[in-house]
Amino acid sequence: MAMLHPFIEFGFMRRALVACMALSLSATPLGVFLLLRRMSLVGDALSHAVLPGAAIGYLISGLSLVAMGVGGIIAGLSVALLSGAVSRYTPLKEDASFAGFYLGSLALGVTLVSLRGSSVDLLHVLFGSLLAVDNPSLLLVSSIAAVSLLLLALIYRPLVIDAFDPGFLRAQNRWTALLVHGIFLILVVTNLVAGFQVLGTLMCVGLMMLPAAAARFWGRGLPGMIASAMILALIASLSGLIASFYLSLPAGPAVVLSAAMLFFISILVGPRGGIFRLRPFSVGKEKV
């Protein structure tokens, strides 16, 4: 009961937990597909790419969730489309194109926030304020999570085909492949914007990618990996918030640090490829 005491006693802890749970259920499946498509660093790039749009929304309307969210979505999608166009029509590879755009976006966003805000505002944008999540923020994050899960269910089959054999999907229907890829990028950006509202632009990708990477050592097959990633993200959210309360740690980094610890534990003892995983010993040719 001691572990649940903060959530029973304090409303801000309950809101923070619900926000992290919503992100855990919607963002981690997208992280699994990013890993399958070898686009894990694209998630990090897009999390920084939303910053200029959010900063412009901040300059116009202050700390308005709607303005910063809309600006972040526009900026993230613009960077994704521009990076794809550059990699398609120039010799530059997609990872290098994303790196160039996201580094420029990060610098521009920090500069824009610094023009009007204080160092406290800059820290709020970069690292979030998980324990300050209010009801409008919680409604926005929960709505994005619900819509993301619905759309992901609708495009699940072609998305799986695109992850394992993109050439086959393009050969079947080129426009379907483009539509699926576009919807997937929109879902990634919107979930990063939702995470940006809670964990900040530097931390939001952690809850998306770390449980997804750790799930590789626990889940069997794609459905198992997705389920494992969700469970690991929920455990990281709960343990991180408990640690932040009792150890006086910043809440957002504590959640991401918990996810990182689960990732390292998975590398060591995960049953599907962990370094020190338990192996059955054999007597002759029979396993015991």
Rounded to two decimals, what is the model's pTM? 0.85
Task: Give the whole-angstrom CA distance, residue 59 versus residue 140.
Answer: 21
**What is the three-class DSSP state of 282?**
strand
pLDDT for the residue numbered 75: 86
State the Cα–Cα distance between residues 238 and 59, nearest whole angstrom.
34
In which residue are the tokens 């964990």 written?
A: 199
Is 222 within a domain? yes
| Residue 283 belongs to some domain of the structure | no
Q: Residue 105's closest CA among 137, 82, 128?
A: 82
Residue 153 covered by a domain: yes
Q: Is residue 278 part of a domain?
A: no
Structure confidence at residue 210 (pLDDT): 92
Domain that holds residue 181: 5-269
Residues in the chain: 288
Alpha carbon dihedral 5, 120, 102, 261, in 10-degree steps, equals -30
| Domain assignment of residue 38, yes or no | yes
H or E segment and range at residue 98: helix 94-116
Q: Is residue 276 part of a domain?
A: no
Is 146 part of a structural domain of the chain?
A: yes
CB atoms within 10 A of CB 222: 16
Number of domains in the chain: 1
Secondary structure of residue 287 in the 3-state scheme: strand
Tens-place pLDDT, residues 2-58:
778 888 888 889 999 999 999 999 999 999 998 888 777 777 777 778 888 877 887
For residue 217, give the amino acid letter: F
Both tokens assigned to 188: 């990634």
Q: What is the mean pLDDT of the chain?
A: 82
Q: Is 288 inside a domain boundary?
A: no
Query: Using alpha carbons only, what angle is made at residue 261 by residues 255 and 266, rounded to the nearest 5 degrees?
Result: 130
List the CATH number of the domain containing 100.
1.10.3470.10
Token reading at 174: 């080129």
